Amino acid sequence: MSEIDEELRNELQRQGVWVTSMQELYNWGRKNSIWPLQFGLACCAIEMIATAASRYDIARFGGEVFRPSPRQADLMIVAGTVTKKMAPQIVRLYNQMPDPKYVISMGACAISGGPFKQGYNVLKGIDRYIPVDVYIPGCPPRPEALLHAFMELQRKIDGQKLTGATKAEHLTAAQPSEFPVPAFGEHDLEPPANRDLFQPPKIERT
């Protein structure tokens, strides 16, 4: 698992010998076969569909296999407005995905509630309940933006360590794989946010 010297690797490659480590092989396989969960919430889903279709073609990055079951999915693309009615189902779907799992928060609504932030029924960002890896701004983001987020996610996966103190979260036994599902309260979701994950930003006025 030890890192190989870069110069030695280049020298070996020039002679026709390719060497790799278990970690690189693992991450190379993972990052080139990210299977997203097939669901869409609002207009961002149309852009997600366009990304999967032939013009933008997410298959070039190995992400075309949209799975209808969370059991087979690696990536959750939260594409669109998350209503408070829908939030428990999304958290439950996230919980049902096997590790390692990643989340892309696509569009202004999924990040923060977007233009509907003042609405009584809109969740102000899915990161209140599940950990998000990549945020894409935009309303809705273009397919290129989703592809960019996908490449960022690939970069993140490529950098994840198998061993050591900085190893990936899904390999750490203490890191939870499921997060509490919010319940419908009298006025809002209970709890309104998962405090272990989400700290509301502090506003300082001067």
Partner 1 sequence: MVRPKVGGAGKVISRAVRNRPERLWFSEVIGFLSGSPFVAFSIPPMYDWRCILMTPDPYIFIVIFVGVALVFPLIPLALAWLWRRFFQPPKPGAEKNAIYECGVESIGDAQIQFRSQYYLYAIIFLIFDVEAIFLVPFAVAFTGLPVGAFIAILVFLLLLIEGLVWAWGKGCLNWAR
Q: Which residues of the chain form contacts with partner 1 (CB under 8 A)? A: 15-17, 69-71, 89-90, 92-93, 95-96, 98-99, 162-163, 170-173, 176-178, 181
Classify each residue of 50-79 as buried b or exposed e, where b means 16 or more C-beta atoms within 10 Å of its C-beta: bbbeeebebeebbbbbbbeebeebbbbbbb
Minimum CB separation from partner 1 for residue 93, in Å? 4
Nearer CB in complex with partner 1: 79/147: 79
Nearer CB in complex with partner 1: 65/145: 65
Candidates 134, 106, 111; CA nearest to 122 is 111
Nearer CB in complex with partner 1: 71/155: 71
Q: Which residues contact 124 (CB under 8 A, 6 or more apart)?
A: 112, 113, 117
Candidates 78, 80, 83; CA nearest to 101 is 78
Nearer CB in complex with partner 1: 165/203: 165
Beta-bridge mates of residue 70? none
Minimum CB separation from partner 1 for residue 167, in Å? 9
Beta-bridge mates of residue 55? none
Pairing of strands 189-190, 183-184: antiparallel
Minimum CB separation from partner 1 for residue 174, in Å? 9
Nearer CB in complex with partner 1: 49/93: 93
Minimum CB separation from partner 1 for residue 202, in Å? 33
Nearer CB in complex with partner 1: 4/53: 4
Q: Which residues contact 7 (CB under 8 A, 6 or more apart)?
A: none
Minimum CB separation from partner 1 for residue 16, in Å? 6
Q: Which residues contact 87 (CB under 8 A, 6 or more apart)?
A: 123, 126, 129, 182, 189
Minimum CB separation from partner 1 for residue 63, in Å? 21
